[in-house]
Amino acid sequence: MRTFFRAISGLAMACVATQPVAASAQALRPDQQAFFGLYKQLIETNTSLSAGSCTQAAAQIGARLKAAGFADADITYFSVPDHPREGGIVAVLAGSDKRAKPMLLLGHLDVVEAKREDWARDPFTLVEEGGYYYARGAVDDKAMASVWADSMIRFKTSGYKPKRTIKLALTCGEETTFAFNGAQWLATNRPDLIAAEFALNEGGGGRNDESGRPQLLALQVGEKAAQNYTFETSNPGGHSSQPMPDNAIYELADALEAVRAHEFPIRFTDTTRAFFTATAATSPAPVGDAIRRLLANPEDKAADALVSRDKAMHSTLRTTCVATLLSAGHAENALPQRAAANINCRIFPGETVEGTLATLKALAGPKVKVTANQPIRPTAIPPTLDPKIVGPAKAVAAKYFPGLPLLPLMSTGATDGIFLESIGIPVYGVPGIFVDSDFNGIHGLNERMRIKSLYDGRDYLYDLLKVYAG
């Protein structure tokens, strides 16, 4: 799942004048043709939960790694008996310096569901059209999964000897709450297999404007934790001809209204403070002034109200909770005996599921039962703005994307990185692969990847990995 911000548009527009509009397509070099074959095969292997198989996709990647020279001992397939189609793969390229801790490349093979009758093109056939590749997963996350696998293959076939061991983990279950989540399983059951000083993941990237002109690069440094809660009320009910104030639907509605009216307190991490500082510098008054006031005093309500008019900024400042599902009543002519709602929360790094539950219980009142739904995700732990990560990302970007700013961002969405962070592996969403201002249909209809953005991002990431690996 990738998340970018509308909030960065003002900052980005200050930097686009010198950037050329991207070409719609480009002739492929031989190495790019090999990459395209991998990407196309992965795209056209259906990995949706309902009808696909991540296990098949992992086996296909594994076959390509073996053909490149990886030994059986370098490759580990994993799954569980009750989810045989939701397996994944871990591959290891040994480094030459045993003192250097490994680095981990994380990607997910599964995709959001896509119905053929809703799409203009078959979602599981890669279609090239108008300078784009169209398909489900063209961006999220098969672009990055393909780049990671391709980089490992290129390292092996070229004879490249990294100082730092490079690990690759391609997993399933990121897109669906109750699927078998491979990243979580590895963190819980095989932490030794993925142990690393840091991990590189989705969530960063870059953004083009509406004309395809690059605006900025994004390095994701931290994310919120996604957690669902249930509000439930019950009542003996009765005949609807004799209503009473004691009504399960009304009691639930009052609790939901309390959630809607509540604002969680503003918090800052090093990442969000750096992001808002940069945004304030290029935002016109009164927004820029309001951001600076919030940075100095997070309890400034007037500044909060102004900045929070932008929904992305609002969500970046705090924990948010919102009602997403409702279920109530059992008959048209009966008083409701039960009413329930799902509350989806995105919990700010460092805040806990239990702490948020306590707040929701206080808001809901004594007549509403509030529970945290399974699965319960770990507390989000924000990585540091490590110069060893940020510095190379900027330096390599200066070669491939001169003049573009690189911003550290906290995702208001969620990735599998949170499971790695819970076992002490800081996770960074790397820059390099640009999406358009409409986010390229990610999770929606007719998902697409700009062809030039894919190959430029692949080149950038390949060189960046070499810098990190030594």
DSSP letter for each residue of 90-156 = EEEE--S-TTSPPEEEEEE-------GGGSSS-TTS-EEETTEEESTTTTTTHHHHHHHHHHHHHHH
Where do the H-state alpha helices sit in 190-322? 191-194, 248-261, 270-282, 287-296, 301-307, 311-317
CATH 3.40.630.10 is the classification of domain 6-224+380-469? yes
Cβ proximity of 126 and 40 under 8 Å:
yes
Q: Is 378 exposed, middle or buried (0-12, 13-18, 19+ CB in 10 A)?
A: middle
CA 318 to chain centre: 18
Residues in the chain: 470
Residue 237 has pLDDT above 70, yes or no: yes
End-to-end CA distance of the chain: 29
Kindly report, residue by residue over 65-89, the tens digit of the pLDDT: 999 999 999 999 999 999 999 999 9
Angle at 449 between CA 443 and CA 451, to 5 degrees: 175
For 154-179, what is the mean pLDDT? 96
The per-type count for the chain, helices as H runs and strands as E runs, is 15, 19
Residue 381's pLDDT band, with cuts at 50, 70 and 90, is: very high
Percentage of the residues of the chain whose pLDDT score is greater than 70:
94
Cα(154)–Cα(468) distance, integer angstroms: 16
CA distances, 237 to each of 243, 274, 338 (Å): 9, 54, 8
C-alpha 310/C-alpha 333 separation (Å) is 43
User: Has this prediction a pTM greater than 0.85?
Assistant: yes
Mean of pLDDT values over 262-288: 96
Partner residues linked to 246 by β-bridges: none
Q: What is the mean pLDDT of residues 384-402?
A: 97
pLDDT at residue 244 above 60? yes
Sign of CA dihedral 409, 413, 414, 418: positive
Range from 143-147, 393-397, 412-416 carrying the lowest mean pLDDT:
412-416
Residues 6+ apart with CB under 8 A from 63: none
Q: What is the pLDDT of residue 8?
A: 54
**Calpha distance 315→223 (Å, rounded):** 11
- Separation of alpha carbons 136 and 232, rounded Å: 36
Asked if the model's pLDDT at residue 3 lies above 60, the reply is: no
Residues 6+ apart with CB under 8 A from 423: 187, 191
Model confidence over 20-52: pLDDT tens digits?
433 334 689 999 999 999 999 999 999 999 999
pLDDT band at 14 (very low <50, low <70, confident <90, very high): very low
Lowest mean pLDDT among 23-37, 49-63, 330-344: 23-37
Domain boundary assignment for the chain: 6-224+380-469, 247-372
Is the separation of the CB atoms in 124 and 41 below 8 Å?
Answer: no
Q: With contact defined as beta carbons under 8 Å apart, do 196 and 425 qualify?
A: yes
β-pair type (198-201, 205-208): unpaired
pLDDT band at 178 (very low <50, low <70, confident <90, very high): confident
- Cβ proximity of 224 and 346 under 8 Å: yes
Give the pair of three-digit tokens for residue 48: 């949706």
